[in-house]
């Protein structure tokens, strides 16, 4: 399988007054053409930073990044401009991701206007077409975002992202601010768009059920590190990392006959600033041993296509 996007040992550190924050600390991943990779993790695990690194909204500290097989780690401004037409992002907060001073059609037309390849009337036509694609009634063309609800705003955001036919889209928690009934509409829309246009998605979310629904494969992140990566069915059928297991057991299920296997994990996220050596999850892990606190586990393929970073599986 050809990989659309690939990262090797990608790192992003931020300098803070109290030390170096390891936001993304050596993530390697591959996303196949027309595939969706789901990234799950709790707040502060670096999943949003990862998304921004991949579409180069942020520069990485170390490691390398490939797009369509080409190394894009260090590219010049002109190449970056060309690259950006091909990758887009859909944001979490439908309230802050669109400019409140622009009308719906202005927002959607903005990338077309900047690229400046179409005439005014062609642009109008394209906007109309995009609104149809994402299920926005054309009577909203002249309205401002604040007059629309969260779901419709998210559709504007999606239409804007689609405007230039990108081949890769990072979706950063696109449904977590929406109500369940709207959430399902948007998830279905994203699925349909992928089928229709053959795009590749990196789908970031904290919601395991949502990620399960939309992704082909999943990466579980904990404090800047990928702890487990595999196909979706494999992850839910055979979770290996203790953190993945705890996460799965913690999700409330809307079924009163569901038997909860409680795997309690102690305490809360430790600080990503100047993290000590060893496994990041060790202080909360129910199976941690001496070794976990001294030696950082490497991510290994324990089964075909199933990568885990844990000393238990060596």
Partner 1 sequence: MGRNRKNSQLYEFWKRFRRNKLAIAGILFILLLIFVILFQGVIAREGINDQKYDDMLAAPSMKYLFGTDQYGRDIFSRMVYGTKYTISMGLIAASISAVIGIFLGSVTGYYGGKMDNFIMRAVDIFMTLPNILLALVMTASFGPGFFNTMIAVGIAGSPAMTRVTRAAVMGVRNQEFIEAAISNNASDMRIIWRYVLPNAIAPIIVQYTMFVAQAILIGSSLSFLGLGLQPPAPEWGSMLSAGKAYMRECWWLTAIPGVFIMLVVLAINMIGDGLRDALDPKQKR
Partner 2 sequence: MQERERLLEIEDLKVEYITDSGVVHAVNGVSFGLDHGEIIGIVGETGAGKTTIALSIMRLLQTPPARMAGGSIRLGGTDILKESKKNMRQIRGKKVSMIFQDPMTALNPLETVGAQVEEVILIHEKLSRVDARKKAVEILEMVGIKGERFQDYPSQFSGGMKQRIVIAIALACRPELLIADEPTTALDVTIQNQVLALIRNLKNELNTSVILITHDLGIVAEMCEKVAVIYAGEIVEFGEIAQIYDHTLHPYTRGLFGSIPNINATADRLQPIPGSMHDPRIEKKGCVFADRCAIRQECCEKEKPELSAAGEGHYVRCFFAS
Q: Which residues bind partner 2 (CB under 8 A)?
A: 42-43, 149-152, 179-185, 187-188, 191, 206, 208-210, 212-213, 233, 236, 246-248, 250-256, 258, 260, 262, 264-265, 268-269
Bridge partners of 306, per DSSP, are 303
User: Which span (106-114, 245-253, 271-279, 295-303) binds partner 1, by CB under 8 A?
Assistant: 106-114
Nearer to partner 1, 174 or 275 (CB): 174
CB of 91 to partner 2, least distance (A): 18
| DSSP H or E run through 133 | helix 120-133
DSSP, collapsed to helix, strand or coil, labels residue 210 as helix
Burial 279-307 (b: 16+ CB within 10 A, else e): bbbbbbbeebeeebeeebbebeeeeeebb
Both structure tokens of 212: 């399960």
- Find the distance separating the first CA and the last CA of the chain, reported in whole Å: 27
Q: In the window 236-275, what residues touch partner 1 (CB under 8 A)? A: none
Whether the CB-CB separation of 125 and 146 falls below 8 Å is answered with no
Both structure tokens of 15: 């300098």
DSSP, collapsed to helix, strand or coil, labels residue 241 as coil
User: Under the criterion CB under 8 A, does residue 50 sit at the interface with partner 1?
Assistant: no
Burial of residue 33, with CB atoms counted within 10 A of its CB: 0-12 exposed, 13-18 middle, 19 or more buried = middle
DSSP 285: -
User: Under the criterion CB under 8 A, does residue 114 sit at the interface with partner 1?
Assistant: yes
Nearer to partner 1, 173 or 234 (CB): 173
User: Under the criterion CB under 8 A, does residue 110 sit at the interface with partner 1?
Assistant: yes
Nearer to partner 1, 101 or 261 (CB): 101
Q: Which does 17 bind (CB under 5 to 8 A by kind): partner 1, partner 2, none?
A: none
CB of 86 to partner 1, least distance (A): 11
Nearer to partner 1, 25 or 172 (CB): 172
User: Under the criterion CB under 8 A, does residue 98 sit at the interface with partner 1?
Assistant: yes
Cα separation, 268 vs 246, whole angstroms = 13
CB of 102 to partner 1, least distance (A): 8
| Paired sense of beta strands 225-231 and 217-222, if any | antiparallel
Binding interface with partner 1 (CB under 8 A): 52, 55, 57, 81, 84-85, 87-89, 91-93, 96-103, 110-111, 114-115, 120-121, 124, 142, 144, 146-147, 157, 160, 164
């Amino acid at each position: 399988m050809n990989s659309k996007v690939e990262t090797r040992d990608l790192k992003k550190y931020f300098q803070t007054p109290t030390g170096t924050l390891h936001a993304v600390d050596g993530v390697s991943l591959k996303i196949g053409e027309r595939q969706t990779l789901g990234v799950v993790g709790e707040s502060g695990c670096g999943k949003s930073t990862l998304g921004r690194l991949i579409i180069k909204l942020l520069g990485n500290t170390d490691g390398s990044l490939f797009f369509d097989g080409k190394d894009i780690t260090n590219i010049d401004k002109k190449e970056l401009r060309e690259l950006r037409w091909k990758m887009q992002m859909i944001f979490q907060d439908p309230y802050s991701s669109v400019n409140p001073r622009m009308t719906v059609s202005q927002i959607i037309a903005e990338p077309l206007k900047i690229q400046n390849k179409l005439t005014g009337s062609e642009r109008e036509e394209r906007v109309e077409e995009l609104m149809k694609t994402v299920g926005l009634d054309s009577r909203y063309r002249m309205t401002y975002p604040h007059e629309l609800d969260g779901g419709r705003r998210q559709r504007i955001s999606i239409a804007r992202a689609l405007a230039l036919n990108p081949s890769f889209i990072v979706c950063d928690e696109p449904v977590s601010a929406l109500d369940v009934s709207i959430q399902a509409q948007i998830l279905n829309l994203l699925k349909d768009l992928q089928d229709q246009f053959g795009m590749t998605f990196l789908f970031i979310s904290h919601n395991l059920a949502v990620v399960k629904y939309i992704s082909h494969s999943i990466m579980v992140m904990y404090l800047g590190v990928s702890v487990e990566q595999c196909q979706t069915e494999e992850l839910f059928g055979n979770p290996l990392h203790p953190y993945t297991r705890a996460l799965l057991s913690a999700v409330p299920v809307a079924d009163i006959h569901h038997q909860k296997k409680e795997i309690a994990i102690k305490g809360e996220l430790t600080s990503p600033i100047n993290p000590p050596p060893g496994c990041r999850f060790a202080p909360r892990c129910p199976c941690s041993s001496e070794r976990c606190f001294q030696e950082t586990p490497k991510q290994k393929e324990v089964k075909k296509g199933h990568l885990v970073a844990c000393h238990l599986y060596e």
